[in-house]
Structure 1
């Protein structure tokens, strides 16, 4: 496996948006996905690793193809997310059972094998899964960046609160992806 000091984590972007509050995050999620797609393209051009860290939505037999099909079938914002950020053949995928990408997953081992030091964490929702993943990355000694334009929450207030918390507590770099 090739080494990648810098790694892009795409958290819960492949998402059927079938939860309470999904209508509140849908448009912001599509905007964040557009920015994340540009960032992903840059990571690919730089030869850096891209890892999808996605909720398994309680489906212990779920896989990326099935999840992409569900999102496309759902239409609307879910289909747009799947279109914008469908994984490429070189991207890696981790399914997570809870909020953090590290909890009960092989993410830490994978990052160790990649010799990763810097994590750029994007995705949904800024104040839940992105924040929990960033916190777990920080306590494991990774340098964390969270591009503000590559995350979304159910309200701008919740997003901004989570971003400021990550900046202050986790020393995360919070800036636009460009």
Structure 2
């Protein structure tokens, strides 16, 4: 049983690759830091969950229809960035179609089945998918930790505003070194 899970939110090629349909450079910058966190979490036996934004090919989706096309199943843009290798034997990959990793998925069930109480959240976009996921984690009584140097959006001001709100109302905001201290001390 795990007491902590790492949720890697939407680090898929359409967001992280310069050839991606909705790429922005901040996602490329956080990839190596997320990789460090992933490696440390695996070393500490933390459950790893990749949340994968994925829109159905050829099927109507009201939200997807109002945005630039991205993360379409089978396009390659929905694939997890190869800098973050998935270990199929132990990791979970959960497809999602909305901002929150909890909405319309079995994420809560997976976490509860594995005895998880704490969630560490990294990935993209702080103002949408990170915020929605940590909000739902709060509502579902998980202790949430957002790693400030492992989340991004296309505006640093917007990123900081949302991290401040998350810290005040929804969970704990830490940087990578603070996270590693919590993991090494056994507090997470």
Q: Do they fold alike, i.e. is TM over 0.5? A: yes
How many pairs does the alignment contain?
A: 159
Counterpart residue number, 1:74: none
Q: Say if 2:56 is the partner of 1:84.
A: no
Normalising by structure 2, report the TM-score.
Answer: 0.77
Deviations 1:65-120 (CA, angstroms, capped at 9, x unpaired): x76x824xxxxxx99x7121131222111101111000010001001001100000
Deviations 1:3-54 (CA, angstroms, capped at 9, x unpaired): 11010000000231355xx35xx22101212111100001111111100011
- Select the residue among 53, 70, 79 that pairs with 2:76: 70
Counterpart residue number, 1:56: 54
1:59–1:10 CA distance, 2 compared to 1 (3 A): farther
Once residues 114 and 31 of structure 1 are traced to their aligned partners in structure 2, the CA distance between those partners, rounded to angstroms, is: 31
Q: Say if 2:157 is the partner of 1:157.
A: yes
**Runs of at least 4 residues off by over 6 Å:** none
Alignment RMSD (CA, Å): 2.2
Secondary structure class of the residue paired with 2:81: helix
Q: Which has the larger radius of gyration?
A: 2
Normalising by structure 1, report the TM-score.
Answer: 0.82
Counterpart residue number, 2:9: 11
Asked whether the 8 Å contact 1:12–1:124 carries over to 2, the reply is yes
Asked whether the 8 Å contact 1:14–1:85 carries over to 2, the reply is no
Secondary structure class of the residue paired with 2:93: strand
Structure 1 unaligned blocks of 5 or more:
72-77
1:166–1:158 CA distance, 2 compared to 1 (3 A): same
- Quote how far apart the aligned CAs of 1:59 are: 4.1
Matches within 5 A, 1:85-104: 85-89=84-88, 90-104=90-104
- Select the residue among 32, 39, 42 that pairs with 1:44: 42
1:99–1:38 CA distance, 2 compared to 1 (3 A): same
Secondary structure class of the residue paired with 1:134: helix
Counterpart residue number, 1:177: 176
Structure 2 unaligned blocks of 5 or more:
60-72, 178-188
1:162–1:43 CA distance, 2 compared to 1 (3 A): same
Counterpart residue number, 1:75: none
